[in-house]
Amino acid sequence: MKFNLDNLVEEFEELKKKLSDPEIFKDQKKVREVSTRKKQITEAVEIYKEYKKLNDSLAENKEMLKAEKDSEMIDLLKMEIQEADEKIPELEEKLTLSLLPQDPNDDKNIMVEIRAAAGWDEAALFAGELSRAYLTFSQEEWYKTEIIEQSIPDTGWIKEMVFEVKWEGAYSRFKYESGVHRVQRIPETESKWRVHTSAVTVAIMPEVDELDFELNMDEIEMKFTRSGWPGGQHANKADSAVHLKHLPTGIIVLCSDWRSQHKNREKAFNIMRSKLQVLEEEKRAKELWEARATQVGSWDRSEKIRTYNFPQDRVTDHRIGQNFSNLPWIMMWKFGPIIEACALYDEQQKLESAGK
């Protein structure tokens, strides 16, 4: 056999025992760690068991074939041997993929932050279009969405939006969207039909709770102000908007979409934890990204990852060097082919790295 993963099977059985012990549920952080690890290796263990059983059967059939005299039995053994010889490489490929390093955030809910960058009103217009496209895409994928915060200037376009996407695997689907999205087109306000270039930044942040990341409250400055709700009987007379500032990094979070100060506070702290967790992960991963940057890019949100060229009806993902046509169709919410192409490319690069 090419693979010997009996130690992984032993680990899997040990994890099952731990989760069956009532004592473990006294420590929720430990429960999460054990459950996550068990989930990470389940697929590899199941494939390995099938792979090992098939190899054992193959060896047994080859031994039987040496001593067999009956012609019908010989034909049957040869057929089973041929089927095993064809299936084993397939299982080896699946097993290799299942053993690749997994992103621990893949199954998490996410927060999506979209901001208009270079290009003023045109950037804000595209930020709104991109936000709506992501929200529709999420709903078509059966994810639950909730807008946390949005900044809308007098133009009615979106300067900034933060929304949640909830369901298992949300991060794995959206993680390739982090970065600078550049748009090239003729703005609505352009009188001379010139093509302008503007940009929008997208940050995909895995949801982080208190068990994952503990905030140092001495480093947090918190203020309360009134949310901008309409007047009349619905006028907001309480200081329900929450402003948070992380003093060491200068990261600022504002949450004012809810009339409840408690809910705004909860959402603001969730966003702050997610932003700080992403910052920590970026620091830890810096050396790895630099080593792979020449191959796949860093997938970092500070890089230009994609260009939406409306005059040429083309979307270009610069990390994988691939073009996609029918831009209006994509902007309706059809991001699936682009996301899948990015995921496939990343997987191929990991396989190549693992083979070196």
Any domain includes 1 = no
DSSP bridge pairs for 151: 160
Burial of 294 (0-12, 13-18, 19+ CB in 10 A): exposed
Per residue in 222-244, pLDDT (tens digit) is 988 766 544 434 444 456 788 89
Q: What is the rounded average pLDDT of the residues 64-93?
A: 92
Distance between CA atoms of residues 92 and 94, nearest Å: 5
| Structure confidence at residue 24 (pLDDT) | 93
203 and 351 housed in the same domain? yes
Residues contacting 252, CB < 8 A, separation 6+: 243, 244, 245, 246
Structure tokens at 346: 């990343």
Structure tokens at 261: 């100060």
Residue with tokens 């996410």: 110
| Structure confidence at residue 230 (pLDDT) | 44
**Residue 332, φ and ψ in degrees, nearest 5:** -70, -30
pLDDT for residue 119 is more than 80:
no
93 and 116 housed in the same domain? no
190 and 286 housed in the same domain? yes
| Domain extent for 86 | 6-98
Contact 213, 127 (CB under 8 A): no
Residues contacting 355, CB < 8 A, separation 6+: none
Please give the single-letter amino acid code of residue 36: T
pLDDT for residue 323 is more than 80:
yes
Between residues 341 and 270, the one the model is more confident about: 341
Any domain includes 154 = yes
**Could you tell me whether strands 304-309 and 179-185 are parallel, antiparallel, or unpaired per DSSP bridges?**
parallel
186 and 278 housed in the same domain? yes
Any domain includes 339 = yes
Any domain includes 104 = no
39 and 156 housed in the same domain? no
| Threshold 0.85, pTM exceeds | no
83 and 168 housed in the same domain? no
* Half-sphere exposure of residue 121: CA atoms within 13 angstroms, side-chain side: 8
> How confident is residue 292, by pLDDT bands cut at 50, 70 and 90?
very low
Of 42, 75, 98, the position where a domain reaches its end is 98
What is the percent of the chain with per-residue pLDDT over 70, rounded to a whole number? 87
Contact 38, 12 (CB under 8 A): yes
